[in-house]
């Protein structure tokens, strides 16, 4: 089916234009707000249609030529066909709209901090292994699919990552090992590699060869951020965009207010970066994290960065946090993965007497879902701000401050 003269009025996080045809929503691949298009419908569902633009009757003035050869096929970026600053406006619009739709809350459109380094900003990548015409390849998820696309270039990561990835593809046959996943991380000088595969003996042989060819590969590396140094292991999380993370830390510091006499409960603390940053402002830090090796490093990192009063506990927050643990004059920082937290964590915060919560969310929908539960439990949103931590992608780091409604 062809629909003519369709006006695109919005854009989704996946980079699809949004239009309405006879009351039904139509998602249009590669179409931007303000454009007028003729569309071929590819999938027709009960509540919406999906299609592609076959003719642009009017093109957007802010449309740009995508710079990556994999754009539109790879699931990583979704905003390369749009001017960067315009993309930021859509990101804050998505945040406002998510609060309205999910939490039924009308917030002001938040501010967003843009990035100076818009390209090659990631210090970490995960490639997935797969076979293409019998050849072992490494790549990313294909857009909207569970299959993979072989990656030859990526403008979000340093060139060294591509070089190492290519070498692993070449060496896989020699060592008869085909990792399902490889993680590469750098601090700009040293590199860290994590390889996942059932065959550990051959994997170690491959890793030893890589270490010979790339002598800057280390087991644990040190990453400097905001005047602090953190040791990071391959299995632990660390902020992927240091410029963005520095802005994020400052926003959180501003939002928590004076913590010089408070305990900060850093839920999902990783190797301790955010907590240690606040600890340097005088807060007593209580961190909780599921990866045990990250907890050990968090303790080391707290000590080497001069903290005195800190405790880090290994375990799932939903298992280790309860209302009675959280002191009344404390501050809770929630910085979970994209899926948000279990409802029991929100219940514990609500049942405690803590008056301030700062939620750092990298998964917008799930963050607003959790915030909505905190609102139901008696908190009010007092500020929302964003950082463009992941330029050209549909992701936006959103920081929400909540305070307990005393009325
Ligand atoms: C977005 S990272 C934030 C890390 C840290 N705040 C930072 O800035 O470096 C989320 C962290 O939550 C941890 N995590 C995931 N699920 C968890 C759970 N159920 N309980 C505790 N930690 C969890 C992950 O291992 C990861 O370190």
Mean pLDDT of 107-122: 98
Is 235 in contact with 201 (CB distance < 8 Å)? no
Structural domains for the chain: 2-62 (2.40.50.140), 87-116+241-404 (3.40.50.150), 124-223 (2.40.50.1070)
The rounded mean pLDDT for the chain is 96
pLDDT of amino acid 90: 97
For residue 274 and ligand 1, the question of a CB distance below 6 A is answered with yes
Cβ within 8 Å of residue 120, ≥6 positions away: 155, 156, 157, 158, 159
Beta strand extents in 268-355 (DSSP E only): 284-289, 310-314, 331-334
For residue 268 and ligand 1, the question of a CB distance below 6 A is answered with yes
Q: Return the higher-pLDDT residue of 329 and 116.
A: 116
Query: pLDDT tens digit string along 77-109?
Result: 999 999 999 999 999 999 999 999 999 999 999
Is 219 in contact with 234 (CB distance < 8 Å)? yes
How far from chain centre, in Å, is Cα 93? 18
For residue 289 and ligand 1, the question of a CB distance below 6 A is answered with yes
Please identify which residue in the block is written with the tokens 């050209």: 392
37: pLDDT strictly greater than 80? yes
Confidence of residue 238 (pLDDT cuts 50, 70, 90): very high
Please tell me the distance between residue 336's alpha carbon and the centre of ligand 1 in angstroms.
Answer: 5
For residue 264 and ligand 1, the question of a CB distance below 6 A is answered with no
Report the sign of the C-alpha dihedral through residues 273, 275, 276, 278, in that order: positive
Which is the closest atom of ligand 1 to the Cα of 294? 27
Distance from C-alpha of 272 to C-alpha of 275, rounded to nearest angstrom: 5
**DSSP string spanning 174-202?**
HHT---SEEEEEESSS-EEEEEE-S-HHH
For residue 273 and ligand 1, the question of a CB distance below 6 A is answered with yes
* Beta strands at 379-387 and 111-113: parallel, antiparallel or unpaired: parallel
243's tokens: 């410029």
For residue 239 and ligand 1, the question of a CB distance below 6 A is answered with yes
**In the chain, what percentage of residues exceed pLDDT 90?**
94
Query: pLDDT tens digit string along 333-385?
Result: 999 999 999 999 999 999 999 999 999 999 999 999 999 999 999 999 999 99
Which is the closest atom of ligand 1 to the Cα of 333? 6
For residue 244 and ligand 1, the question of a CB distance below 6 A is answered with no
Is 136 in contact with 162 (CB distance < 8 Å)? no
Which is the closest atom of ligand 1 to the Cα of 248? 8
300: alpha, beta or left? (left if phi > 0; alpha if psi -120 to 50) = alpha
For residue 399 and ligand 1, the question of a CB distance below 6 A is answered with no
Pocket test for ligand 1, best of 228, 229, 270, 297 (most atoms within 8 A of CB): 270
């Amino acid at each position: 089916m062809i629909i003519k003269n369709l006006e695109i009025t919005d854009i989704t996080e996946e980079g699809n234009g949004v239009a309405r045809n006879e009351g039904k929503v139509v998602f249009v691949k590669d179409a931007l707000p303000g454009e007028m298009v003729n569309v071929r419908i590819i999938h027709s569902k009960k509540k919406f249609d999906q299609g592609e633009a076959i003719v642009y009757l009017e093109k957007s003035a802010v449309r740009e030529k995508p710079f990556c050869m994999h754009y539109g096929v790879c699931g990583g970026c979704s905003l390369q066909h749009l001017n960067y600053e315009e993309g930021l406006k859509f990101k804050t619009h998505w945040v406002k709209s998510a609060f309205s739709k999910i939490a039924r809350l009308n917030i002001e459109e938040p501010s967003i901090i843009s990035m100076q380094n818009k390209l090659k900003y990631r210090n970490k990548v995960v490639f997935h292994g797969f076979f293409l015409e019998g050849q072992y390849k490494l790549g990313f998820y294909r857009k909207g699919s569970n299959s993979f696309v072989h990656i030859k270039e990526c403008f979000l990561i340093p060139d060294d990552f591509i070089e190492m990835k290519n070498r692993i593809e070449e060496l896989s046959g020699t060592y008869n090992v085909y990792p399902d996943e490889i993680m590469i991380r750098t601090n700009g000088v040293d590199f860290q590699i994590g390889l996942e595969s059932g065959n550990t003996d051959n994997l170690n042989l491959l890793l030893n060869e890589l270490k010979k060819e790339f002598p800057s590969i280390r087991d644990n590396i040190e990453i400097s951020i905001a005047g602090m140094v953190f040791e990071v292991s391959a299995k632990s999380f660390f902020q992927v965009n240091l410029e963005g993370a520095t802005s994020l830390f400052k926003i959180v510091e501003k939002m928590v207010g004076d913590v010089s006499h408070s305990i900060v409960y850093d839920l999902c603390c990783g190797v301790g970066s955010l907590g240690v940053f606040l600890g340097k402002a005088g807060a007593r830090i209580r961190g909780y994290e599921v990866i045990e090796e990250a907890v050990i490093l968090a303790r080391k990192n707290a000590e080497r960065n001069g903290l005195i009063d800190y405790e880090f506990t290994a375990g799932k927050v939903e298992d280790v946090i309860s209302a009675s643990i959280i002191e009344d004059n404390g501050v809770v920082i929630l910085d979970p993965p994209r899926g948000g937290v279990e409802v029991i964590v929100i219940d514990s915060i609500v049942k405690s007497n803590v008056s301030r919560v700062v939620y750092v969310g990298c998964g917008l929908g799930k963050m607003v879902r959790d915030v909505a539960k905190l609102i139901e439990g008696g908190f009010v949103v007092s500020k929302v701000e964003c950082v463009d931590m992941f330029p050209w992608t549909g992701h936006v780091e959103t920081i929400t401050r909540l305070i307990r409604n005393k009325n």
